[in-house]
Structure formats: structure tokens, C-alpha cells
């Protein structure tokens, strides 16, 4: 049990971390309601009486609508597809790594790690040239493939760790009970791995959703440009006005799906589903 | 229902180490076989080879005369109970038990599944828990669910991998007798792995003692206890374990650290050409000399010893005598201890005394030893020189007859109660139905 003093201390730490993490978001939220003339006022909140939803109108129904909504569509589509492919591939790969003993197992893991620490910026230029040559430039697929290189390694590592926790006896029991290898995997292991798969999927989705470098370099039109890249193309009403308000509004809107995802899958993310499978 | 034949089975791992080395056992239909031995003796590996979770390096495994070496576990039609239960945590108890039936697609209608699961649950007293998840069950209940999953199928044999080692002592005793009764009732061939010799002695029709991947002896518990083939079996079976005393033989007299013991002539004759022998004496062969009845006195030999201390247990008491063996003998005793999983065998003799005995530690006392029962072991090979193979075989034959006598009434009583009250008693009714299926199939 925690003493009252320890509880207070923890509460203090929690509040500090929350403020640290959420203050920028709050600042962006406040900015998104500011009128263009108010942006440089130096106050945190919009000056009284000038709070406006004009920025949201601009990006959702106004001038910037074409730029923003198509980008939102691209982002959602590309991120979802990349996440799905990454999770399916990573599940199979991680299962093999956790369960089977095959030559090159270490190689797969270290390669995955090496790929993930490889700086993105250094392969953008060759990819740009390659994609233009083979016609993948400015297409969904042209972004999905590099996103896989970002999401697969981390998915494989998290899922492999997760699969290792699932007792092997469950699968063997299923096989003795009359299951084929595939049935044992599907009926005994997949249901238990679900929380791990969800967690991995969310992490992978974040990575794809937040990418900027590939997004801005490998696209040129609304055909495939994702939101983070599109934000850079916002313009103010005149060349003397900064598009800060519109960018803030767009940033808030693209944050919403992430928050929703986490809230939605909160229950699935909690681990501990395996308790009761085996002793202890 | 099936017989299982292990024909020179060998399991070698990648590094060439034989975990199971040339083991041959014939398991008769309906027999309860125990595999026992210290950790690392290959007993679990052998079980997993039978069920198909480990490849067989060499030799043949036959189920009902058919070679199954290359068959997948699911094609062998065996049921296994794992040490840590291996329940599916995302399924309810009902679905856990129904799992094997659902896998056999198309064989059972939903109604049949319900009937079979309810019957199995009734046998194991799980009816009230069918809708719960394994995480909410106690250890004993989880163990029963694991058994339910085994008995719900018409499996040819049951395989148990240390199924009780995770339970507390009281529950273990209870589950032990439940398993024993269930096996008798269903009459299903069973192989049971354990390191607990109480389980081995009480459950098994025959017990196979393994050491370092090799079969030492397979016999009825009583034969193992009374006519062990070698030092290892003698020391492993029995608790407190057999005492080993280094001795030299002169005529009919054994010169030991405890004193001179006169032994029957026919025993002495068998070991006549050995210079040094190990005398194997079970603690209960000793007695307080003052409490031995007159007519028994001449069967044994009396010596004086000083006990270090005694432990009174109510029905009997243990006394401890230290002795000092020669250095080369000490080495032999230590290597024997290592084989049996202990660090070091203390040069100590444990004697069982009558609860009424007034012998206490520190004082010199007269101890009587029944020399008819002791065994002499070759100090080099560990072989039992005084083993009476014929008497041993007779004990195992008797055990087999006893078992046949036990099974018939158990199954008959079951059948009668099942027909009699039409299953109003869920427990016996369910058991009958399950048993009936097995004898039919």
C-alpha cells in the first residue's frame, strides 16, 4: 500500500508530466481559434471577443478544403493499409521467431533492427529517383512501401516479445487435441495474441500517420499527399498573413483519430489476458 | 483403448546427447504405467515422444500394433494432461472441454457436444463452473478441466505429464485417488510421468524407473520395493530411502561400520566372491532390540549403536546413526547420491523404531536388524547380488491379478448404478456414460 505522502508525490509527478505533454497541444488548440490579426498578440488564449472558428471553416469547407480533405483521405487510407500489411506480416514473422528454431533467426531480428535505425532522410533521394522511374512516384503504393520499412521492424520486435510470453503448451495441447498446426495457431494463439496485435497495430499506425519526410518527398499532388506534408502547403489569405491558424486547426483535426483509436482499443491493449492459462 | 509398444526408442538432441536411450516397454491395453526418475532422466521426453510432440530419433513406437513414428500428434488419438494445465484462457470451461470435439469437424452435432461435455463435467464435478473462465478457477479445478478435455474424447490412451506437481499437498492426495479411480473405471491405457514416488507407488500397475535416459527396471511397485535390480532403483524407491552400508564379507558375517552382522547362508553364498559389498537395508528392517518378540529374534542380528537423535512421528519414530566409511566408499556413496538428485549422501543410517521405543539420542542402545530382508549390492556395478528374480516376477504377477479383480467390479458397479437410477445421480450417471463409450470403442 502507498502511504498518503507517496500518493501525493505520485500525483504531483503525474500532473507535471501531463502539463509537460499536453501544454503544446493546448497551445495549438488555443491558436486554432485565433483570428489572423490576433496571432502575434502574445497571449495564450485568443483575445476576448475575437475567438473564431474561421480556421476550421477554411480547411473543411473554405479555400483550403481541397488541399486538406484530400490529404486527410490519403493519410487515413495509406496509414491503414500500411498498418494492416505490417501487422499481418509481422504476426507471421514474429510467431516464427518466437516458436521455431531456424538458421538465420538472429539475422532476421538484427536486420529488422538495422533497418529501423537507418536514417530515413538518406534513402529518400534514391527512392525519389527509383519511384519516378518505375512510376510509383506520387501514388499510395509509393508511400505504403516505405512506410512498411518503418513499421515492420518495430512490429516484429514487439510481437515477437509478446508471442514469447504465450505458453507453448497451449499450442501443443491443441495439437494433441486434434488441431493442425494452423488450427492451433488460429484457435489457441491468435486469440491470446490479440492484445499484442492491437498494441502493435496502434504503434504502427502512429508511425505511418506521423511521417513527414517520405510524405513531402515522394508526392507532388493531391493524389497521394498525406496531411503532415499538406500542412506545409497551406497559405494565408494574403501573402502578408501567416497560415498559422489554419495549420493549427488542421493539426487538431488530425490528432482526433489518434485519440479516438487509443480510447477505442484501450480495453484490448490491457495485457493480462493470458492469466489462467497455466499455473502462476 | 489400445496397447502401446515402445521398441528400442532413442531420442538424441542436436549435440548427440541421448535424452532417451534404447527404451523398450510393452504397455498392455488398460494398463497404468508410471515413468519415474530424478529430473533429467528423460521421462518427460519419453512421454512427449509417445504423444508426438518430440521426434523419435530411432526405434519404433507402435499403437495397437501400428507404427506411428511419423504421425502428427492429432492423428495418434491420444489425450494428454499437461503439468501446467495448458487451458485456453479465452474460452469458458465448457468450451475448453468441448475444444477437441469442435476440432473433429462434423463428427458431433451441437447436441452431442453438449451431452458429452455435460457428462464429462459431471464426472469431474465441474457442472457448476462450466460458464467460468479458467482464470477464475482454483488450481484443483483447473486440473480437472484439463482432465475433462482428455476424457471427453474417445482417446486411445491418456498421457499425464506430472499433472499434480503444481497442487498443494492435500489436494494432490485427493486428485491422486480421483485419477486412480477414474482410470480403473474407464479402463483406459495410461502413461503417467512423475518424480513423486508416492504417486508412482500408489497409482501404477507397473512402474518404470529411469536414470539418465535408460530404463533401470520396470515392475510392480512391490517388486521394485522388495526386489530392486540395482543400487539406483533400491535407493530411489522408498522414503526414507534405503540405507547403504559398505561391508566386507567373511563367511556368513558382514563386517560393517555398525558392527558385525550375521546373515543367512544363501545370501552370503551369492556374494561370496566379492571382497567389498554394499549392504542395502530399509529403515523398517531395524527395530529396538528390547521390543522384538522372542520368536523373531533369531531371524536377525543385534548390534549396539549410539543414535544422534530421534524423531517421533506418532505411529513410529526415526532414529539416526552416523558412521564413518572408508574414503573410497565415501566417494561411491556420493556418486550414488548425485544420481539420485541429492548433493551428498550423509554417511548416516536411518532406522525406524516402534513408537513405544524409549531409545533416545546420545545413549548407546541395542538395535535389532532383520537380516532376512537385506540386499547385497556389488560395490562396482551396483548390481543387486541377492535379488530373487522369481520372487519378484511373482509379485508383479500377483499385482496384475489384483488389478484385474479390481477393475471388473468397478466397471460392473458403474454400469449397474447407471442403469438403476437413470442418471438422477449426475456423478455416477455421467461416469457410466463416459466409461460405456470407452468400452464400446
A167 contacts on B by Cβ (under 8 Å): 84, 86
* Residue B98 pLDDT: 92
* Residue A275 pLDDT: 41
pLDDT band at B342 (very low <50, low <70, confident <90, very high): low
* Residue B430 pLDDT: 38
A101 contacts on B by Cβ (under 8 Å): none
* Residue B343 pLDDT: 60
B78 contacts on A by Cβ (under 8 Å): 176
Indicate yes or no: CB of A276 within 8 angstroms of CB of B79.
no
Indicate yes or no: CB of B134 within 8 angstroms of CB of A191.
no
* Residue B263 pLDDT: 87
Alpha-carbon gap, residue B46 to B333, rounded angstroms? 29
Instruction: Report pLDDT digits (tens) over B106-153.
Output: 778 889 899 999 988 988 888 999 999 988 888 888 988 998 998 898
Instruction: Work out the minimum CA distance from A151 to partner chain B, whole angstroms.
Output: 28
* Residue A76 pLDDT: 92
* Residue B340 pLDDT: 73
Whether the pLDDT of residue B429 is over 70: the answer is no
- CB contact B74 to A (< 8 Å): yes
pLDDT band at B419 (very low <50, low <70, confident <90, very high): very low
B135 contacts on A by Cβ (under 8 Å): 275-276
Instruction: Report pLDDT digits (tens) over B247-303.
Output: 888 888 888 888 888 888 888 888 888 878 889 999 999 998 888 888 888 888 888
A175 contacts on B by Cβ (under 8 Å): 52-53, 72-74
- CB contact B103 to A (< 8 Å): yes
Alpha-carbon gap, residue B315 to A18, rounded angstroms? 68
* Residue B23 pLDDT: 93
* Residue A276 pLDDT: 44
Q: Encode chain A in three state secondary structure.
A: CCCHHHHHHHHHHHHHHHHHHHHHHHHHHHHHCCCHHHCCCCCCCCCCCCCCCHHHHHHHCCCCHHHHHHHHHHHHHHHHHHHHHHHHHHHHHHHHHHHCCCCCHHHHHHHHHHHHHCCHHHHHHHHHHHHHHHCCCCCHHHHHHHHHHHHHHHHHHHHHHHHHHCCHHHHHHHHHCCCCHHHHHHHHHHHHHHHHHHHHHHHHHHHHHHCCHHHHHCCCCCCCCCHHHHHCCCCCCCCCCCCHHHHHHHHHHHHHHHHHHHHHHHHHHCCCCCCCCCCC
Indicate yes or no: CB of B86 within 8 angstroms of CB of A172.
yes
- CB contact B52 to A (< 8 Å): yes
User: Quick one: average pLDDT of B393-404?
Assistant: 86
Indicate yes or no: CB of A279 within 8 angstroms of CB of B153.
no
Side-chain-side CA neighbours of residue A208 (13 Å): 35
Instruction: Work out the minimum CA distance from A91 to partner chain B, whole angstroms.
Output: 19
Indicate yes or no: CB of A276 within 8 angstroms of CB of B87.
yes
- CB contact B239 to A (< 8 Å): no
Indicate yes or no: CB of B149 within 8 angstroms of CB of A275.
no
Higher-confidence residue: A266 or B21?
A: B21
Minimum-distance CB partner of B135 among A170, A191, A276? A276
* Residue A269 pLDDT: 61
Whether the pLDDT of residue B413 is over 80: the answer is no
Interface test with A, best of B73, B101, B105, B113 (most A CBs within 10 A): B73
* Residue A268 pLDDT: 63
pLDDT band at B158 (very low <50, low <70, confident <90, very high): very high
Whether the pLDDT of residue B54 is over 50: the answer is yes
Residue of B nearest to A183 (CA): B103
* Residue B36 pLDDT: 93
What is the residue-level pLDDT of chain A in tens, covering all 280 positions? 668 899 999 999 999 999 999 999 999 999 888 887 777 777 888 877 778 888 888 888 877 777 888 899 999 999 999 999 999 999 999 999 988 888 888 898 899 888 888 888 888 999 999 999 999 999 999 999 999 998 999 899 888 888 888 888 888 899 998 888 888 888 888 888 888 888 888 889 988 998 999 999 999 888 889 988 888 887 766 667 778 888 888 889 888 888 888 788 776 665 544 444 454 4
- CB contact B86 to A (< 8 Å): yes
Instruction: Work out the minimum CA distance from B209 to partner chain A, whole angstroms.
Output: 25
Indicate yes or no: CB of A179 within 8 angstroms of CB of B104.
no
Minimum-distance CB partner of B149 among A177, A179, A273? A177
A276 contacts on B by Cβ (under 8 Å): 87, 89, 133-137, 142
* Residue B427 pLDDT: 39
Indicate yes or no: CB of B84 within 8 angstroms of CB of A173.
no
Amino acid at each position: 500500500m502507498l502511504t498518503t505522502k507517496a500518493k501525493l508525490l505520485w500525483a504531483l509527478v503525474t500532473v507535471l508530466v501531463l502539463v509537460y505533454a499536453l501544454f503544446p497541444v493546448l497551445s495549438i488548440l488555443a491558436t486554432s481559434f485565433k483570428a489572423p490579426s490576433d496571432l502575434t498578440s502574445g497571449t495564450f488564449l485568443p483575445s476576448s471577443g475575437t475567438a473564431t472558428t474561421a480556421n476550421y471553416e477554411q480547411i473543411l469547407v473554405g479555400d483550403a478544403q481541397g488541399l486538406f480533405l484530400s490529404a486527410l483521405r490519403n493519410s487515413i487510407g495509406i496509414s491503414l493499409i500500411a498498418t494492416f500489411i505490417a501487422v499481418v506480416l509481422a504476426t507471421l514473422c514474429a510467431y516464427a521467431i518466437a516458436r521455431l528454431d531456424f538458421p538465420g533467426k538472429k539475422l532476421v531480428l538484427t536486420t529488422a533492427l538495422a533497418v529501423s535505425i537507418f536514417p530515413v532522410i538518406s534513402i529518400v533521394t534514391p527512392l525519389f529517383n527509383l519511384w519516378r522511374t518505375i512510376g510509383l512516384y506520387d501514388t499510395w503504393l509509393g508511400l505504403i512501401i516505405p512506410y512498411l520499412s518503418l513499421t515492420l521492424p518495430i512490429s516484429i520486435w514487439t510481437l515477437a516479445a509478446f508471442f514469447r510470453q504465450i505458453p507453448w503448451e497451449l499450442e501443443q495441447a491443441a495439437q494433441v487435441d486434434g488441431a493442425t498446426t494452423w488450427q492451433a495457431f488460429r484457435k489457441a494463439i491468435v486469440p491470446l495474441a490479440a492484445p499484442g496485435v492491437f498494441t502493435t497495430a496502434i504503434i504502427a499506425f502512429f508511425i505511418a500517420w506521423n511521417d513527414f519526410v517520405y510524405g513531402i518527398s515522394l508526392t507532388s499532388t493531391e493524389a497521394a499527399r498525406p496531411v503532415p506534408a499538406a500542412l506545409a502547403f497551406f497559405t494565408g489569405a494574403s501573402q502578408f498573413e501567416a497560415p498559422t491558424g489554419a495549420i493549427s486547426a488542421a493539426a487538431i483535426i488530425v490528432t482526433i483519430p489518434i485519440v479516438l483509436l487509443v480510447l477505442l482499443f484501450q480495453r484490448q491493449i490491457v495485457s493480462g489476458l493470458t492469466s489462467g492459462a497455466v499455473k502462476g | 483403448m489400445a496397447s502401446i509398444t515402445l521398441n528400442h526408442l532413442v531420442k538424441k538432441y542436436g549435440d548427440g546427447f541421448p535424452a532417451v536411450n534404447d527404451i523398450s516397454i510393452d504397455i498392455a491395453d488398460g494398463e497404468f504405467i508410471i515413468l519415474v526418475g530424478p529430473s533429467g532422466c528423460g521421462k518427460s521426453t519419453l512421454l512427449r515422444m509417445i504423444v508426438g510432440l518430440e521426434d523419435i530419433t530411432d526405434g519404433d513406437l507402435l499403437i495397437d500394433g501400428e507404427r506411428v513414428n511419423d504421425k502428427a500428434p492429432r492423428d495418434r488419438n491420444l489425450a494428454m494432461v499437461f503439468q501446467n494445465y495448458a487451458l485456453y484462457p479465452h474460452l469458458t470451461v465448457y468450451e475448453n472441454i468441448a475444444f477437441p470435439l469442435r476440432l473433429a469437424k462434423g463428427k458431433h452435432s451441437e447436441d452431442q457436444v453438449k451431452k458429452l461435455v455435460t457428462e464429462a463435467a459431471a464426472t469431474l464435478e465441474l457442472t457448476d463452473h462450466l460458464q467460468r473462465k479458467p482464470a477464475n478457477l482454483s488450481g484443483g479445478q483447473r486440473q480437472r478441466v484439463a482432465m475433462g478435455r482428455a476424457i471427453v474424447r474417445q482417446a486411445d490412451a491418456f498421457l499425464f505429464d506430472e499433472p499434480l506437481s503444481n497442487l498443494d499437498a492435500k489436494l494432490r492426495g485427493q486428485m491422486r485417488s480421483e485419477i486412480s479411480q477414474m482410470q480403473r473405471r474407464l479402463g483406459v491405457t495410461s502413461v503417467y510421468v512423475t518424480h513423486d514416488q508416492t504417486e508412482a507407488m500408489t497409482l501404477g500397475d507397473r512402474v518404470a524407473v529411469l536414470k539418465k535416459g535408460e530404463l533401470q527396471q520396470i515392475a510392480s511397485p512391490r517388486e521394485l520395493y522388495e526386489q530392486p535390480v540395482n543400487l539406483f532403483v533400491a535407493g530411489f524407491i522408498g522414503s526414507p530411502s534405503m540405507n547403504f552400508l559398505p561391508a566386507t564379507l567373511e563367511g556368513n558375517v558382514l563386517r560393517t561400520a555398525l558392527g558385525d552382522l550375521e546373515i543367512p547362508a544363501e545370501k552370503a553364498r551369492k556374494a561370496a566372491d566379492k571382497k567389498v559389498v554394499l549392504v542395502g537395508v530399509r529403515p523398517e528392517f531395524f527395530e529396538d532390540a528390547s521390543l522384538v518378540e522372542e520368536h523373531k529374534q533369531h531371524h536377525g542380528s543385534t548390534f549396539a549403536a549410539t543414535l544422534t537423535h530421534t524423531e517421533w512421528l506418532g505411529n513410529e519414530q526415526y532414529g539416526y546413526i552416523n558412521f564413518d566409511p572408508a574414503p573410497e566408499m565415501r566417494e561411491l556413496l556420493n556418486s550414488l547420491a548425485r544420481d539420485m538428485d541429492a548433493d551428498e549422501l550423509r554417511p548416516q543410517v536411518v532406522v525406524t523404531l516402534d513408537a513405544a521405543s524409549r531409545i533416545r539420542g546420545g545413549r548407546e542402545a541395542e538395535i535389532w536388524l532383520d537380516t532376512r530382508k537385506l540386499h547385497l549390492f556389488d560395490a562396482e556395478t551396483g548390481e543387486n547380488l541377492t535379488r530373487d528374480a522369481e520372487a519378484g516376477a511373482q509379485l508383479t504377477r500377483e499385482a496384475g491379478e489384483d488389478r484385474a479383480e479390481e477393475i471388473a467390479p468397478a466397471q460392473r458397479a458403474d454400469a449397474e448404478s447407471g442403469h438403476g437410477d437413470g442418471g438422477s445421480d449426475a456423478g455416477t450417471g455421467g461416469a457410466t456414460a463416459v466409461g460405456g463409450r470407452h468400452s464400446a470403442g
